[in-house]
Structure 1
Amino acid sequence: MVIGLSLSTVATAEEYRQHSAHVHGHVEFNIAQDGSDLLLEITAPGADVVGFEHAPENAEQEKTLQHAVATLEDSNTLFA
């Protein structure tokens, strides 16, 4: 079975303007199956994943972001 993982806000780490209120701690999982392929999409506020919602501002934040991305991309371990 092939598992794909889509990283939205975390992977791009781009700054954006929030136009409406948002809630921390609210995570959405979307799951789709096509034959033996499975796609999992996780949407979560950056603060809930790495502790900040802006582009990394220093080496520590960059390291935190890279660790989170690596963890989320390792679907075999994450969902084992």
Structure 2
Amino acid sequence: MYLTKEAKSELFKKHGGKSENTGSTEGQIALFTHRINHLSGHLKNNHKDYNTERSLVKLVGKRRSLLDYMIKNDIVKYRELIKELGIRK
């Protein structure tokens, strides 16, 4: 698998506060961003893989809805997170 258990817990520790806090909005956005970057790299080599393309579009939509939720609740954390993850807005 492209993301090991240790790497995932480190990702949640960095963005979610604790490695056990897998439900935090920041942690989920960071995980989705990692998966989106992985799938984008895959699609550069396999441009006819339409199932992966569909999965990528769905992931981007999920991340967008979580980012919209974050804008409503805490705009400061939102701005810090998109700067840290390098997400365009």
> What is the TM-score with the length of structure 2 in the denominator?
0.33
> What is the TM-score with the length of structure 1 in the denominator?
0.36
More strand by share: 1
More helix by share: 2
